[in-house]
Chains A and B, each alone.
Chain A
Amino acid sequence: MTAFLQQVVNGLASGSIYALIAVGYSMVYGVLELINFAHGDIFMLATFLTLTLILLGVPWPLAILLGILAGAILAMIVERFAYRPLRNADRIAPTITAVGAALIIQNVALATWGPQTQPFPLPFGSGLIQLGGVYITVLQLIIFGMAGICALALYLLVQLTPWGRAMRAIRDDPTTAELVGVPVNRIVPAVYAVGGGLGVIGGILFAAYYNAVYIGMGFTGTMNAFVAAVLGGIGSLKGAFIGGLLLGVMQALAIGYIASGFENTVAFVIMIVILVLKPRGLFALPTASRV
């Protein structure tokens, strides 16, 4: 039982990271019905940037803030050049340009930082708390806390601010929203920026949790975020968050009780089962009546 709970705690920690990444991803999907393939690579590049700043001696809170800002700006650049020219095209075209943008970002990161995995040192989080036989690291507590704070902040932003109302209007009906004066070309980049920034928080926590920054982390993040979003019902922010937690726990249990090295397999078997049996996800959007 203790071993089981331990795996659940570990799974919730990695799941919280997926949740943060998936929420940013799902938000973009909700607004534009676009699989933002570059999401993971944007936070990968920003995490590398944060690491470089920390190694250069920039105080780490400032470095993290600058990294989040860089991710937000990069997301807006990608939106401007790879997605906006295709906003009125069918959605497969921007999916492919998103893959293109992801490849370009990977190439830039590869040329700048090389293919080696680098450790991500944080000056905190090494402590250990024991709770009835289950160990929780301080870093895991920080991850839970960050995930909760970000989810709450995003919920308030989307539900209570004029910006959030404009975003929801575009999500429900982009044409009418534009007709009644919602500044679509200002709100959409902002959605990307918020999604990108959230992704960077997830990316930095990912790097800290696994003590690794590497080129492939973006792709891993994108794929897991996609599975999490599909699991929860793509486009739904609550769904993406819960989907991320579920995915983390299921992967951790699979590692603990079946075998390690099959994380991708677990994720994709879950996704195929969901897509075939319950294609709208576990928590589908009630308003999802697009034609």
Chain B
Amino acid sequence: MRVRTEASGAATAVSSRAPATPATIRSYARIVLPVLLLLFLLAAPGLIGSYHLHVLTLILIYVPCALGQNLITGNSGQLSMGHAAFFGLGAYAVAILSVRYGWPAFPALLAAAGAAGLVGLLIGLPAIRISGDYLFIVTIGVNLVFLDIVTQWVPVTGGTAGIPGLPMPSFGFVRVRSNVDYFYLALAIAALCFLVTLAITRSRFGKMIEASRDDPVAAAACGISLTAVRVSVFVIGAAMAGLAGGVLGYFIGFVGPSDFNVQQSLLIFEMAILGGLGSIWGSVAGAAILVGLPEILRFLQPYRLGLLGLIMIVLMIYRPQGLLGSVRITNLIRK
């Protein structure tokens, strides 16, 4: 199925009357490649083995995180480095609501996104007054505070032991029963967040976000409320991570503090800067590379941290805009 689509895509490109300049090829690729990717993903459970399907599911779970991080850091220019807190908040919300109160999946996932969004609001507000590299540290601090709370508030969060035994989610008549179902759930959530991000960046609001990043004074002079724009971006980015965290909780069946530490925040941050700031496909690529590569190259596992660090250094020196991005992270702070 995948091969046939590839062939027909190539045929359209060749038989078209317009001369095959790089620009026309690129405009075809812009339509054909996403369609191919979607077709591949829809057919993936039949094409790849169960281990690779597991890895692909994990990648899809991280895609909303990367999208949210990229919206905050790439589009809005806020150096937030605590995304694992929102991710974890979603996971804990789902775990607590489904295990302790028996909530079904749909309201639990909504609550996960809502809780993360609400905390995003609480952090986004002081973030207005804290700029650049200070925000970087403050948001790491938010992640540490989150960890303090979930490890100490034992009656609710289970402390370091976490919350085991999350049920398989069910949405009314649709029940998740197998890893293939989990894959499609993750795909649906990732696609939803992808489309929401696409709609935001293409909209007037998306232009307002970028204007308030590129020239806050001019943006404010045009009547854009910097506070409203920046805080809403924080809320949206946090809510996406919360939603993804909820899916992660269901997928693993266990929620504990060790999955949401500062390293996790670094990983999500790096997805956005490696893929490319301000680029939606960059977020997808970042998640795919940073989750997929260590799983496929198992022998590199002991050097995972160091490799992440090395990628950061090489990127900053040689390609600060990331693989697919247009925004250089170095332009986000004025001297």
* B residues 158-184 touching A (CB-CB < 8 Å): none
Q: Does A219 contact B (CB under 8 A)?
A: yes
CB of B312 within 8 A of CB of A99, answer yes
Say which one of B49-57, B111-119, B202-210, B325-333 lies at the interface with A. Answer: B325-333
CB of B335 within 8 A of CB of A91, answer yes
CB of B316 within 8 A of CB of A86, answer yes
* B residues 118-174 touching A (CB-CB < 8 Å): 126, 129-130, 132-134, 136-138, 140-142, 144-145, 147-149, 151-152
B276-320 CB mask vs A (1 if < 8 Å, else 0) is 000000000000000000000000001111101111110111001
Q: In the complex, which range does the number of interface residues on chain B fall in?
A: 35 or more
CB of A264 within 8 A of CB of B134, answer no
Question: Considering the chains assembled together, what is the distance between the CA atoms of A220 and B327 in angstroms?
Answer: 32
Question: Considering the chains assembled together, what is the distance between the CA atoms of A219 and B151 in angstroms?
Answer: 18
Interface centre among B136, B149, B313 (most CB of A within 10 A): B313
In the bound complex, residues from chain A placing their C-beta under 8 Å from that of B97 are none
Q: Does B79 contact A (CB under 8 A)?
A: yes
Q: A268 is contacted by which of B136, B142, B316 (Cβ under 8 Å)?
A: B142
Q: In the complex, which range does the number of interface residues on chain A fall in?
A: 35 or more
- List the A residue with the shortest CB-CB distance to B312: A100
In the bound complex, residues from chain A placing their C-beta under 8 Å from that of B79 are 92
Say which one of A51-59, A101-109, A147-155, A238-246 lies at the interface with B. Answer: A101-109
In the bound complex, residues from chain B placing their C-beta under 8 Å from that of A94 are 316
A111-B335 contact in complex given A100-B316, A259-B152, A275-B134, C-beta closer than 8 Å: no
A95-B136 contact in complex given A86-B316, A100-B311, A219-B262, C-beta closer than 8 Å: yes
Question: Considering the chains assembled together, what is the distance between the CA atoms of A291 and B144 in angstroms?
Answer: 32
Question: Considering the chains assembled together, what is the distance between the CA atoms of A58 and B110 in angstroms?
Answer: 60
**Closest-CB distance, B123 to chain A (whole angstroms):** 9
In the bound complex, residues from chain B placing their C-beta under 8 Å from that of A97 are 312-313, 316-317
Q: Does A223 contact B (CB under 8 A)?
A: yes
Question: Considering the chains assembled together, what is the distance between the CA atoms of A261 and B160 in angstroms?
Answer: 12
For chains A and B in complex, what number of residue pairs have CB atoms within 8 angstroms?
Answer: 135
* A residues 266-284 touching B (CB-CB < 8 Å): 267-269, 271-272, 275-276, 279
Q: Does B108 contact A (CB under 8 A)?
A: no
Q: A271 is contacted by which of B136, B141, B317 (Cβ under 8 Å)?
A: B141
**Closest-CB distance, B168 to chain A (whole angstroms):** 33
A101-B126 contact in complex given A96-B329, A223-B144, A271-B141, C-beta closer than 8 Å: no
- List the B residue with the shortest CB-CB distance to A35: B133
* A residues 111-136 touching B (CB-CB < 8 Å): 111
**Closest-CB distance, B40 to chain A (whole angstroms):** 33
Q: Does A4 contact B (CB under 8 A)?
A: no
Q: Does B273 contact A (CB under 8 A)?
A: yes
CB of B133 within 8 A of CB of A85, answer no
Main secondary structure of the interface of A (DSSP, over half): helix
Question: Considering the chains assembled together, what is the distance between the CA atoms of A82 and B312 in angstroms?
Answer: 10
Q: A91 is contacted by which of B133, B151, B266 (Cβ under 8 Å)?
A: B133
CB of A35 within 8 A of CB of B148, answer no
CB of A107 within 8 A of CB of B144, answer no
A265-B148 contact in complex given A86-B317, A96-B316, A106-B305, C-beta closer than 8 Å: yes
Interface centre among A81, A103, A268 (most CB of B within 10 A): A103
Q: Does A110 contact B (CB under 8 A)?
A: yes
A265-B145 contact in complex given A93-B320, A103-B306, A275-B138, C-beta closer than 8 Å: yes
Question: Considering the chains assembled together, what is the distance between the CA atoms of A86 and B316 in angstroms?
Answer: 8
In the bound complex, residues from chain A placing their C-beta under 8 Å from that of B141 are 223, 227, 264, 267-268, 271-272
CB of A271 within 8 A of CB of B266, answer no
In the bound complex, residues from chain B placing their C-beta under 8 Å from that of A95 are 133, 136
In the bound complex, residues from chain A placing their C-beta under 8 Å from that of B317 are 85-86, 93, 97
A82-B313 contact in complex given A96-B273, A276-B130, C-beta closer than 8 Å: yes
Q: A35 is contacted by which of B136, B142, B144, B312 (Cβ under 8 Å)?
A: B136
In the bound complex, residues from chain B placing their C-beta under 8 Å from that of A226 are 137
Q: Does A89 contact B (CB under 8 A)?
A: yes
In the bound complex, residues from chain A placing their C-beta under 8 Å from that of B335 are 90-91, 291
Question: Considering the chains assembled together, what is the distance between the CA atoms of A261 and B149 in angstroms?
Answer: 9
Q: Does A257 contact B (CB under 8 A)?
A: no
CB of A261 within 8 A of CB of B148, answer yes
In the bound complex, residues from chain A placing their C-beta under 8 Å from that of B311 are 100
CB of B310 within 8 A of CB of A261, answer no
CB of B330 within 8 A of CB of A92, answer yes
CB of A111 within 8 A of CB of B126, answer no
CB of A92 within 8 A of CB of B312, answer no
**Closest-CB distance, B245 to chain A (whole angstroms):** 21
Question: Considering the chains assembled together, what is the distance between the CA atoms of A81 and B144 in angstroms?
Answer: 29
CB of B302 within 8 A of CB of A111, answer yes
In the bound complex, residues from chain A placing their C-beta under 8 Å from that of B140 are 223
CB of B306 within 8 A of CB of A107, answer yes
CB of B305 within 8 A of CB of A110, answer yes
**Closest-CB distance, B301 to chain A (whole angstroms):** 11
CB of B151 within 8 A of CB of A99, answer no
In the bound complex, residues from chain B placing their C-beta under 8 Å from that of A96 are 273, 312, 315-316, 329
- List the A residue with the shortest CB-CB distance to B320: A93
Interface centre among A97, A99, A262 (most CB of B within 10 A): A99
- List the B residue with the shortest CB-CB distance to A220: B144
In the bound complex, residues from chain B placing their C-beta under 8 Å from that of A269 are 145
CB of A103 within 8 A of CB of B320, answer no
Kindly list 14 other residue pairs between chains A and B, CB separation below 8 angstroms, not including A91-B335, A100-B313.
A90-B331, A91-B333, A96-B315, A103-B312, A104-B310, A106-B305, A107-B309, A219-B262, A227-B141, A264-B141, A264-B144, A265-B145, A269-B145, A275-B138
A-B contact pairs, 6 of them (CB 8 A): A90-B330, A92-B136, A94-B316, A100-B316, A219-B262, A268-B141
Shortest beta-carbon contacts, A-B, top 3: A103-B309, A100-B312, A107-B306
